[in-house]
Chains A and B, each alone.
Chain A
Amino acid sequence: MNAPARIAIIGMGAISAIGEDVSSNHQSLRTSSPGIGPIRHLDTPHRGRLLVGEVDIANDELAERLEIPANEAYTRSTLLALLAAREATAGIDLGDGNRTGLISATTVGGMDATERYYDDYLVSETHRHFIPTHPCGYSTEQMARYLGVTDFVTTISTACSSAANAIMLGARMIRAGLLDRAIVGGTDCLSRFTVNGFNSLMIYTDGYCRPFDEHRSGLNLGEAAAYLVLERSEPAARQSKTPMAYLSGYGHANDAFHQTASSEDGEGAYLAMKQALEVAGLEASAIDYINAHGTATPNNDLAEGQALLRIFGNVQSIPPFSSTKAFTGHTLAAAGAIEAVFSVLALQHQEIFANLNFSHPIAALGIVPQTTLLSTAINHVLSNSFGFGGNCSSLLFSSAHD
């Protein structure tokens, strides 16, 4: 199979528990400074008990930074998204006549407002202007208006693989000739809905998450938003924006095994990675770093590890890999986008970021993640995102240096 033209990444923006923009996220990754800690903003009885990756900025201040009037209803996911998307599109003329699409991913949507005003809406008019913000699509529509995107707007919600799928759709639509440029990514704020959801599933750790550790006991949730700007290679050159990296492959498969759990042999994950390599026209041996999904739930890390062993053949052949979830927490629909940004940073700076909180390899696998910052030659990075419903995606990013 011939590898089709690569997709250029010409802009990116990110906000997470470890930084308010791409460079501050990078600084935290380089210095192995995680952002997981006690709950400060989310109003829940779990405050003081569960640890999260929270963005330490209140909604009012986010709105102020975006110059959004105080009386307009924007939920937290949208506010985070706008900050990241504004950074991603800075210096790019979206009105230059190129067909531009916005493809955003979210699972929380406006649920944080709905859960807050669920009974209040019925009795008081004060917050009723938030009623329309509930649907996931509403957030994307607000973004489109703010950014001035009119050619194509859509929203993907496939649980924790959502943003990876948004990135993939952007690339596919550009390749199909339907768009010239795509702003792609995802956003999810913390909510009582999701914190309680994962807690009720008994996969929320009492402490700090420990991806790929034998004694891992679940995830920490986080909140984040990240967006990338994709273009076909030629217009990227024409706009004289130097690509930061290329998206050269992507794959998607369904595990078709269970509503929430991954199959033991990581079939969906295996198929997604295999396809990403095929689309890029690369052998597994060309991969220099894997940004793993690595949620630190017992099930995910075992299944993902099995899939890595199947793709690379044996323990020795697996390139350096790490999960950055111990920095940011699991940011659900944003995870695939924030980790895409981290993958591009790895390529730009030729650095592999640490898998924190690891001490003992999973006995059944024997695989050991990269636990410290590593400077090394990196040309190709795989980034995995897996979600409920068996939804498995893998993206392949390649260096712009070659």
Chain B
Amino acid sequence: MIDFAPNEEQTAIRDLAHQIAVEQFRKHARAAEEAGDMPAEVRRVLAETGLLTPFPEEYGGSGTQDAVTHALIMEELAWGDGGLALHVFGSILAPLALLLAGQESDKLAFLTLCAEEESAVGWSEPAAGLDVRQMGSALRTYDDGWRLDITKRGVIHGHTKGIKLALVRLETSSGNEGPRLVFLPPDDTECVIEVTAEEEPLGLRAAPRARWRLRDGAGGGAIVLGLPISRDLPDEGKPGTLRFIALANVLLGSLAVGTARAALDYAADYAQNRIQFGKPISSFQAIAFMAAEMAMEVDAARLLIWRAAHAWDTGEDALRLAERARMQAIKTAQRVTTDAVQILGGAGFLQDHPVELWMRDAAALAALG
């Protein structure tokens, strides 16, 4: 049954996320950008809400969410601050990956660790960006072992000492078997990832990011999530990985929608209070029509995200929908944040207002891939 209204539970959790966005993210956005990390107070409040641990309680989490709810939460958080929202996004990626693609043993072994220490998933690549079909990183299996090549960029929390996962394509004797998540043990001495911090990115600075590089790694204990020991057993790793990628696209797209909505709300509010020629500038059609177009684009982007999230929740193949939605949302965020700066005029160019930050954030989102 077609419905465009969130249910009670979704509304409650969205309101909670909005409250955190207002009371924590908005308040600490500039400080977080300056520090290049999430302030301790914000982290403490977030941890209390359980939003950082969206996995079952039996593994030390605070319960799972459906994709639509994930989208609602992420939009609100990003409305508060994109950088801090990306920090959260980076923190929940590995738990979601383990949950969706991992076997029971993986979940038991690693999920609790995710609740204790920051984790990271390498996704974007220098050449392929976020397009997993074009990934260069690969795990190649041979009769006598395997070889691992990884080149990642924009890895949120990439410097962590905790759980590290990377998206790679699996190459076996039967060829390219598609994307898989590979677990990189932190104490493996033969398979050490070279981590380089990405210094002073254009935007979203509150989420520290790094580049990963591993050439011809071998030996040790890299684990492909969900890959059965025997060929005769069902391979849950691949469908799980694809579902993980789809959900990650939904989340990133929601982050873009939240950023765009923040800019729209701020610019609309500013336009009503900024008086020129004796009238609020919102009464001039040149400004009002820009705002109307921004509102159209934000609504369109959000509905595409919801549609993809709903497909994910009903078990449909949501990957393509989610990728398209993410791309539209990021384009929308760039356009809307740039127009917001324009509506504020000279004031928009100053750091007195957050729109210059959001314009950089949207560009940094696009730069992720």
A binds B: no
Chain A positions near chain B (C-beta within 8 angstroms): none
Chain B positions near chain A (C-beta within 8 angstroms): none
